[in-house]
Amino acid sequence: MAKRKEEEKTKSLKDESILSEVSGNLPALLEGLKITEKAASKGFEWENVNKVIDVVRDELNEVEAEITKEYKDKDKILDEVGDVLFSAINLARRTEVDPEIALKHANQKFRRRYGFVENKHKQNNLDFSNTSLDEKLKCWKEAKKEGL
């Protein structure tokens, strides 16, 4: 009986929230963007972008704290990584960057650089899988210098 009352209370609070206007069926990135827009429209907003950057740093520190524990709580790590992503979406919004476009751009840039590293290994007759990370990172830096 108590559980049902709690569910009704939660549903009632959700229905009263401006965030109930944001569909939970949206892709997560877009949903996060819409949530931060709605909250900001009601004044729930950091006063400047530097505060948002501080939040992103704090969230990263919380992830680091969780993953360095001897006993790793996967649910807690999931929660903290989600907070990092949500905060990054808010940072994108505050800097007037579409997070979907930014992520797509980052994906494409990673593909180009990774492809460069693979090709460099092929040109030098090196087995990519058996090359050290340091060697791969040297090629990665070269790809960055090339503007890829």
Q: What is the pLDDT of residue 14?
A: 55
Q: What is the mean pLDDT of the chain?
A: 92
91 and 43 share one domain = yes
Is residue 3 one of the residues assigned to a domain?
Answer: no
Specify whether 32 is located in the same domain as 93: yes
For residues 104 and 73, state if they share a domain.
no
Q: Residues 13, 17, 23, CA angle at the centre, nearest 5°? A: 110
Q: Report pLDDT for 15.
A: 65
Q: Taking residues 131-147, what's their average pLDDT?
A: 95
pLDDT (0 to 100) of residue 100: 96
What is the share, in percent, of the chain residues with pLDDT greater than 70? 90
In a domain, 7, yes or no: no
> What CATH number has the domain bearing residue 79?
1.10.287.1080
Residue 69 domain flag: yes
Same domain? For 47 and 105 the reply is no
pLDDT tier, 10 (very low <50, low <70, confident <90, very high otherwise) = low
Q: How distant is the alpha carbon of residue 127 from its chain centre?
A: 32
Instruction: With a cut of 70, say whether residue 30 has pLDDT above it.
Output: yes
Cβ burial 107-146 (10 Å sphere, 16+ → b, else e): eeeeeebeebbeebbeeeeeeeeebeeebbeebbeebeee
Domain co-membership, 62 together with 117: no
The model's pLDDT over 116-127, given as tens digits with 9 standing for 90+, comes to 999 999 999 999
97, 120, 135 — which closes off a domain? Answer: 97
Reported as a single tens digit per residue, the pLDDT across 109-118 is 999 999 999 9
Identify the band that residue 59 occupies on the pLDDT scale cut at 50, 70 and 90: very high
Q: How far is CA 44 from CA 27, 47, 63, in A?
A: 23, 9, 24
Which range of residues forms the domain containing residue 117?
A: 99-148
Among the listed residues 123, 113, 119, the one whose alpha carbon sits nearest the alpha carbon of residue 144: 113
Is the pLDDT reported for residue 6 higher than 90?
Answer: no
> Residue 16: its pLDDT value, please?
83
Q: Is the pTM of this model over 0.85?
A: no
- Is 127 inside a domain boundary? yes
Q: Say how far apart CA 41 and CA 56 lie, in whole Å.
A: 21
The tally of domains found in the chain comes to 2
Both 92 and 36 in one domain: the answer is yes
CB 88 within 8 Å of CB 53: no
Instruction: Bin 23: left if φ > 0, else alpha if -120 < ψ < 50, else beta.
Output: beta
Same domain (yes/no): 37, 80: yes
Q: Can you read off the two tokens belonging to residue 131? A: 């090359």
Mean pLDDT within 40-69 = 96
Q: Let me know whether 91 and 108 are in one domain.
A: no
